Chain A
Amino acid sequence: DQQVKQNSPSLSVQEGRISILNCDYTNSMFDYFLWYKKYPAEGPTFLISISSIKDKNEDGRFTVFLNKSAKHLSLHIVPSQPGDSAVYFCAASATGGGSEKLVFGKGTKLTVNP
């Protein structure tokens, strides 16, 4: 049973436009959410996170939105650049559980076309 779902395996956008990556979760105990970016043959790289006490967090071109009632979060990249092309993983954690282990979605492959 997948607790974190990324329903779009791939997304293609034009350079300069907005990229919106979506993520849904089912476990109401999750209270901390992260986005990681992964290039082939490398480990995931941390991008941005958000605590459940917030509904938005912004860092440069990256903004994460959290809708707790819908159990949905999204990552916005504006403007998109060709170097953003990678697989993006949504991850969630239940920090009250002690381990803060991450539960990942299957990822969305983003391609930004020049």
Chain B
Amino acid sequence: DTGVSQDPRHKITKRGQNVTFRCDPISEHNRLYWYRQTLGQGPEFLTYFQNEAQLEKSRLLSDRFSAERPKGSFSTLEIQRTEQGDSAMYLCASSAVYEQGGVAEAFFGQGTRLTVV
């Protein structure tokens, strides 16, 4: 296991289409995060899972966005009825939670670059 893996790396879609991205975290990590990054900005938090439970969603995550982590391993992020404003880099990260408390640093995947035309 060499790190967080995201697929696809690039996606071009027409406005109004649905897209789905996949993230495979580092295998022993039970926390999984989705972030979005636009040009000139830092990554912005979208949502996170601990195991299969989605515990927090940002107000940035409109009703068109849905994320799942059905078995507590890989996760998918779906965007329905894409808009041009959805064009961004979508980043997945994972981290470990220690039994004695505390969270280790998050490790990021290479991201999925979405372009909505």
**Does chain B have a CB within 8 A of A17?**
no
Enumerate chain A residues within 8 angstroms of B103, measured Cβ to Cβ. Answer: 93, 95, 100
Residues of A within 8 A of B45 (CB): 101-103
Number of residues on chain A facing chain B (CB within 8 A)? 24
For the complex, what is the distance from the CA of A92 to the CA of B21, rounded to whole Å? 26
Q: Which of B40, B102, B106, B111 contacts A102 (CB 8 A)?
A: B106
A-B interface pairs (CB < 8 A), number: 57
Cross-chain contact B106 with A46 (CB below 8 angstroms) = yes
Give the residues from 35 to 86 in chain A that come closer than 8 angstroms, CB to CB, to chain B: 36, 41-46, 49
Cβ 8 A contact of B41, one of A36, A93, A99, A106: A106
On whether A104 and B43 interact (CB within 8 A), knowing A42-B111, A99-B56, the answer reads yes
Contact status A44-B108, CB under 8 Å: yes
Q: Closest approach, in angstroms, between the C-beta of B65 and any C-beta of chain A?
A: 16
Shortest CB distance B72–A (Å):
16
Number of interface residues of B (CB under 8 A): 27
Q: For the complex, is A34 an interface residue (Cβ under 8 Å from B)?
A: yes
A103 to B42, CA, bound (A): 8
Q: A43-B109, A45-B108, A95-B103 are in contact. Are A104 and B42 (CB under 8 A)?
A: yes
Q: Which residues of A contact B4 (CB under 8 A)?
A: 43
Q: Is B105 an interface residue (CB 8 A)?
A: yes
B105 A43 Cβ-Cβ under 8 A: no
- CA A1 to CA B31, docked complex, whole Å: 27
A91 at interface, CB cutoff 8 A: yes
A89, B106: Cβ atoms closer than 8 Å:
no
Task: Determine if A43 and B91 form an interchain contact, defined as CB atoms under 8 angstroms apart.
Answer: yes
Chain B nearest CB, measured from A48 CB (Å): 9
Q: Are A104's CB and B44's CB within 8 A?
A: yes
14 pairs of residues in contact across A and B, judged by CB atoms under 8 Å? A4-B42, A34-B105, A43-B108, A43-B111, A44-B43, A49-B105, A95-B103, A99-B55, A101-B48, A102-B43, A102-B106, A104-B43, A106-B41, A106-B42
Nearest 4 pairs between A and B by C-beta?
Answer: A104-B42, A43-B108, A100-B103, A101-B45
